[in-house]
Structure 1
Amino acid sequence: MATSKSAKIQAEIEKVKAKITEQQARLKELEQKKMEAENTEIVDIVRGLSISLDDLPALLRTIQAGGGMGQSVPKAADPNDKEDTEE
């Protein structure tokens, strides 16, 4: 009887391992699909910009360095901002 009980447990273990393997494969597939979707979105965004292919690397370096895109306009002082008025 002990052998029968352990055999059932072993069968359950094998069943769970098979499900885990299946789910790991599914996870890998979903991660790949997500990466492909993100890459497609990035390409669509870049293509939507009116920038030449020659200028693109410089723009990306500027963004990576922390520079902004477009014109830089100073922020207007907020009259409700208490930091500037409390001294």
Structure 2
Amino acid sequence: MNPKIEKLAKDIEKTKAKIAEQQARLQDLEKQKTELENTDFVAVARSYHLTPQELAEFLKTRQMASAQESSPQEQEEVHED
């Protein structure tokens, strides 16, 4: 086989290995970030001394309020019918 082709094939394999290594590193970093964010969320929830049920109710209420705020046009369309 042509030596240039062999060299390129080796470079391709080497590059693929580096990419795989960096993708694994990226996944690990994203996992660490998520874990730190979750820790922060738990700390905030605990600072309010909420029970898990109270927290769930608060989040549910907040989600419903957010959904209502985000769709004022939809509310106008309903009133027009």
Please say which structure displays the higher CA radius of gyration: 1
More helix by share: 2
Aligned AA for 2:33?
K
- Matched-pair identity in %: 42
The corresponding residue for 2:37 is 38
Give CA deviations for 1:37-64 in whole Å, capped at 9, x if unaligned.
1100100110111434442222111111
Residue 20 of structure 1 deviates from its aligned partner by 0.4
Q: Which has the higher contact order (CA 8 A, sep 6+)?
A: 2
- Matches for 1:6-85 after TM superposition, within 5 Å: 6-66=5-65
Q: Distance in 2 between matches of 1:12 and 1:56?
A: 54
TM-score by length of 2: 0.72
d(CA) in 2 for partners of 1:4, 1:14 = 15
- Aligned length, in residue pairs: 66
**Unaligned stretches of 5+ residues in structure 1:** 68-87
For 1:10 and 1:53, how far apart are their aligned partners in 2? Answer: 56
